[in-house]
Structures are given as structure tokens and as C-alpha cells.
Amino acid sequence: MASHTADLEASGAHASNLQHHFENPDQQKDASTIGMWVFLVTEVMFFGGLFLAYFVYRQAYPAAFAAASNNTDLWIGAVNTTVLICSSLTMALAVHSAALGKKNLIVLFLILTLILGGTFLGVKAYEYHDKFVKHEVPGQNFDCRDEAGNPCVDAAHTPLFFALYFGMTGLHATHMIVGVGIILFLIAQARKGAYGPKWHTPVELFGLYWHFVDIVWIFLFPLLYLIDRSGAPR
């Protein structure tokens, strides 16, 4: 036991960060990384069910999906995708700064990630508000109309699109709200100097989560916003 402790000190590990059931910091980090990835696999399957529902109903009612999708705002969607990609870059740079031990840069990039994530959520809230105002929320007062004010093509099946729209973007936004909470915690810890080259696993694993949420949006954007945008006759 004594020699084990001596090994730890020789390897330069911060004793409080190395749990006793791991041999060394590298093993501990690999185990943590694998644990996070296994969680992300379950997340892939969680979102996968919604994607499957989307494909099944889009296959069944293509005209209704095309008409309803044209009621989303293409440019807002594209700009928000850009915002989210920027937040992924700042997150990657936060992990990079942590690995190099640049404490102020970790805090700066985490705050930038927080601001960009908050911007994305704000834009999403604006879009949701717009859909409520236009009665595009499935329910008793649902009404889908094209730009000319005429009822949507196959209007009876357009609520399916909007139900999936709210379900998928809502689950995605929920993940981002959870992420925002974790970023606040990481910023507080980083300010205290908790993360450095030897140990910054929480920053790195949160990065995996944040990029995963980005990947989900990378698929949601074309599937929800980009159906039948060419204006060609259907």
C-alpha cells in the first residue's frame, strides 16, 4: 500500500483526483471516457426512436410533411445551426485550454459556450412563440396555412409533423438546458483552478455531451427545416 502511494506521487497525480480503485490517472480517465460514451450510446438510441417515428410518418404522409416543413423559417434555422456550431468550437477550445492548463481561457471559452448555447435557446423560444401565435401547435385550435393563407396540403396530417417537431426540438432543447446548468458548475470550478493538464476530465466529458447535442441538431435541421424547399410543384 505504501509503495502504491509512492507510485502515485512519483507519477505526479493529484491524490484527491485519483480514486483508490484505479491504478493510475490514465486508467481512470479511460474508464471515465468509456462511461460517458456508453451513456451517449443510450442517448443515440433515445433520440433514435424519435427519428424512426419521423421517418415512418414522413414516408406515410410526404405531402403533409413537405407543406408543414415549409412553415418553419429556413433562415432562422440556418443561423441557429451556425450559432450551435460556434458553441461546439468554443467548447472544443475550452477542453483544449484545460489540457494546456490555461485557467483564464477555460473560463472564457466556457462562458462563450454558455452565451452561444443561450442564444440558440432564445432563438428556439422565439420560434416556438411564433408557432403558438400561428396555431401550429397540435391540438384543438391547430391550423396549418401556407403563405397565401390557404389550408396546407393534406392538412389533416400536418399535426403529425408539428408533434414530431416539438417533440424532437423539445427533447434537444431539454438537453441543452441541462447542459447550461452543467456549464455554470464547470465555470465555477474552473475559476477555482480545479482543472489543469493533469486532470480536467469533467470539462472533457461535458465536451462530449455538448458535441453530441450538436450532432443531434445537425440531423434535426435538414429533417425538419429542409423538406421540399425548392418550390417545385408537388
Partner 1 sequence: MADHTEHHVVPKKIYFAVFFALIVLTWVTTLVSRVDLGKWNIFVALAIAIIKASIVALFFMHVWYSTRLTKMIVMCAVFWLILLLFITMTDIWTRSWMGVPGR
Which residues are near partner 1 by CB under 8 A? 26, 29-30, 33-34, 37-38, 40-41, 44-45, 48-49, 51-52, 55-56, 59-60, 74, 77-78, 81-82, 85-86, 88-89, 91-93, 96, 99-100, 197, 207-208, 211-212, 214-215, 218-219, 221-223, 225-232
In angstroms, give the least distance from the CB of 77 to partner 1.
8
In angstroms, give the least distance from the CB of 169 to partner 1.
16
152/130 Cα distance (integer angstroms): 17
| Nearer of residues 162 and 221 to partner 1, judged by Cβ | 221
Residue at 177: amino acid letter = I
- Contact between 169 and 224 under an 8 Å Cβ cutoff? The reply is yes
| Nearer of residues 145 and 198 to partner 1, judged by Cβ | 198
In angstroms, give the least distance from the CB of 143 to partner 1.
25
Distances (CA, A) of 220 to 78, 112, 208, 217: 11, 23, 19, 5
Q: Is 107 exposed, middle or buried (0-12, 13-18, 19+ CB in 10 A)?
A: buried
C-alpha cell recorded at residue 228: 421540399
| Nearer of residues 84 and 137 to partner 1, judged by Cβ | 84
C-alpha cell recorded at residue 36: 460517458
In angstroms, give the least distance from the CB of 139 to partner 1.
27
36/41 Cα distance (integer angstroms): 9
> Strands, DSSP E only, in the chain?
none
In angstroms, give the least distance from the CB of 129 to partner 1.
23
